[in-house]
Structures are given as structure tokens and as C-alpha cells.
Amino acid sequence: MIAWVHQSRPRPSWYDLDPKNRQESIERWEACSAATLAAGGTLVGTFSVRGQSDFERMELWTFAAVDLLEAHWTRLREAAYLDFFDTENLLGMPVPKTAVP
């Protein structure tokens, strides 16, 4: 299993969108997440990190395999998510049983 921390903040283009376009965009991206959940991804939660980071939101996901994550990212890209949100992602790899930090 891998973990994926997804941090995001709006780009200037997001603030220029009118409320109708914003709502349509949000629904489009929610459909991407719904497809990922249906494919077997797990969204642990969505959190606000505005007060303690460079970003606004943080999502924590887990996936059984990396191809589920890659498919999720492809859906978001094709839905123009990255044109409206700047992102920074972090991969969590399994810790070997013998590893001592």
C-alpha cells in the first residue's frame, strides 16, 4: 500500500472564475474523486492547512497500487484541475519492518 498527501491552493485563474463556473468545476473534480473511490482508492480525509503551510487544503489518500494513483492524477489533469490549483504532492512508501528511523 502507498499513501499520497495532496496539498493544493488556488491559482489566480480560480479567483477569476464566476460562481457558476466554479461550481461546475468543483462538480467535475468531485466526479474524478468519485471515480477513484469506485476504483478502490481510499480518501482518509480532506483538511484545511492554510494556517500552517503554503497551501490551503490537504487530502490524504491511500492506494493498493500506484496505477490507481496515476489514473486519479490523469483524470484530474484531463479535467483541468491543475490549471486552477497549484499542488504539491508527497508519496508515502511502506516502511521496511527492519528499518529504524
User: Residue numbers of the site for another protein (CB under 8 A)?
Assistant: 4, 11-13, 65-67, 69-70, 73, 82-84, 86-91, 93-94, 96, 98-99, 101
Rounded CA separation 89/37 (Å):
18
Closest to another protein by CB, 38 vs 99, is: 99
Closest to another protein by CB, 37 vs 66, is: 66
CB of 66 to another protein, least distance (A): 5
**Residue count of the chain:** 101
65 DSSP 8-state letter: S
Q: Is 52 helix (H, G, I), strand (E, B) or coil?
A: helix
